[in-house]
Chains A and B, each alone.
Chain A
Amino acid sequence: MQLITCPWCGPREETEFRYGGQADLAYPADPSALDDEQWARFLFFRDNPKGTFAERWCHDAGCRRWLRAVRDTRTYVFAETGPYGSFPRRSARPERSA
């Protein structure tokens, strides 16, 4: 079984991770302006390259952070992994009931 390098935890077994699909999808700027076909394309249509593919993975059994990985779909070899975006610089702190 291969190791995936979590940017936070380091190399860990693949079973600790969950696949999260294609990376870098942009949410539509104005979703309500989309017709059904365009919305369906955003929701359900993904690239399926033979070769290098940028993907999201989540380190479920470890730090539970998302990461961005570039993987070759022919060989399953990971070319690189890195953090996915950034966590909120300041948490939106909800009011707590007493």
Chain B
Amino acid sequence: MTAELSSGVELRSASSPVVLTRRHPLEGRRATLEALTGEPSITLEPLVSAVDLRVDPDGGAPEAIAAALGGTLPRSPDTWTELPDGVALRLGPDEWLLTSAAADPHRWEDRVDALAAPHGGMAVDVSAQRVGLRLHGPAARDLLAFGCSIDLRPTAFGRGRCAQTLFGQAAVLLVAHAEDDLRLHVRTSFAGYVVDRLVDTARSLRPTPA
């Protein structure tokens, strides 16, 4: 079985003629998002591989794992750093979310897990757990503020910051890329709710056509 990550790629099993086409969990809302005019734009992020890494933060493990992956792991709470083809987000004192756009999910899990094992840590594949949305435009933070209570001003939540919080009723992971560029990750089963709420709010923010 070959597994490709890009949306809509066919998964073929060598022993079976069945062709499974992987769909983005929010494929059904893609047209709605594309039809939105004005800003901020809301777009679906490509699916990536992701692992949840749990390891003792003291004693050099994060540094050793980061060096082997060719990047850094964030040291401060609620911050993120870049990996060669993904990001590392600090989710808790002993917990990180590591993504990779290139590796397929089980290989990414195997790789990070092998690096964590000597330190008594482990990595678990959570690629199917969340989907990503990108909000782009000067009003991106205003739009999020309609459902989020955390301080989203660029001075408090600038590039390099991330936060797990609530958007409306759904738990989300917010990632700040720039003042007008934010990413939102949400559990797949809550993704429809979050998109609908974002679209609804975005429409209400825009001037009604004359």
> Does B195 interact with chain A (Cβ within 8 Å)?
no
Q: Could you tell me the distance between the alpha carbons of A93 and B113 in the complex, rounded to whole angstroms?
A: 11
Q: How many Å lie between the Cα of A79 and that of B41 in the bound state?
A: 43
Q: How far is the CB of A63 from chain B (nearest CB, A)?
A: 4
Q: Does A16 contact B (CB under 8 A)?
A: yes
User: In residues 51-69 of chain A, which contact B (Cβ within 8 Å)?
Assistant: 60-65
Are B93 and A65 in touch, CB under 8 angstroms? yes
A9 and B163 contact, CB distance less than 8 A: yes
Check if A9 sits within 8 Å of B78, measured CB to CB: yes
B121 on interface, CB distance cutoff 8 Å: yes
Asked if A87 and B93 make an inter-chain contact with CB atoms under 8 angstroms apart, the answer reads: yes
Q: A61-B171, A65-B92 are in contact. Are A8 and B77 (CB under 8 A)?
A: yes
Which residues from A are CB-within-8-Å of B171? 60-61
State A63–B95 Cα separation when bound (angstroms): 9
* A80 is an interface residue with CB less than 8 A from chain B: no
Cβ of A90: which chain B residues have Cβ within 8 Å of it?
A: 56, 120
Q: How far is the CA of A61 from the CA of B121 in the complex (A)?
A: 24
Which of B54, B91, B149, B171 has most chain A Cβ within 10 Å? B149
Q: How far is the CB of B128 from chain A (nearest CB, A)?
A: 18
Inter-chain contact A91/B56, CB cutoff 8 Å: yes
Once the chains bind, are A91 and B164 in contact (CB under 8 Å)?
Answer: no
- A12, B150: Cβ atoms under 8 Å? yes
Check if B165 sits within 8 Å of A12, measured CB to CB. Answer: yes
- Cα–Cα, bound, A63→B11 (Å): 35
Contact of B56 with A9 in the complex, beta carbons under 8 Å: no
Residues A91 and B163 in contact in the complex (CB < 8 Å), given A8-B77, A9-B77, A12-B150: no
The 10 closest A-B pairs by CB, nearest first: A90-B120, A13-B149, A63-B92, A62-B164, A61-B166, A61-B171, A8-B77, A87-B94, A91-B120, A93-B120
Q: Using CB atoms and an 8 Å cutoff, list the residues of chain A in contact with chain B.
A: 8-10, 12-13, 15-16, 60-65, 87-91, 93, 96
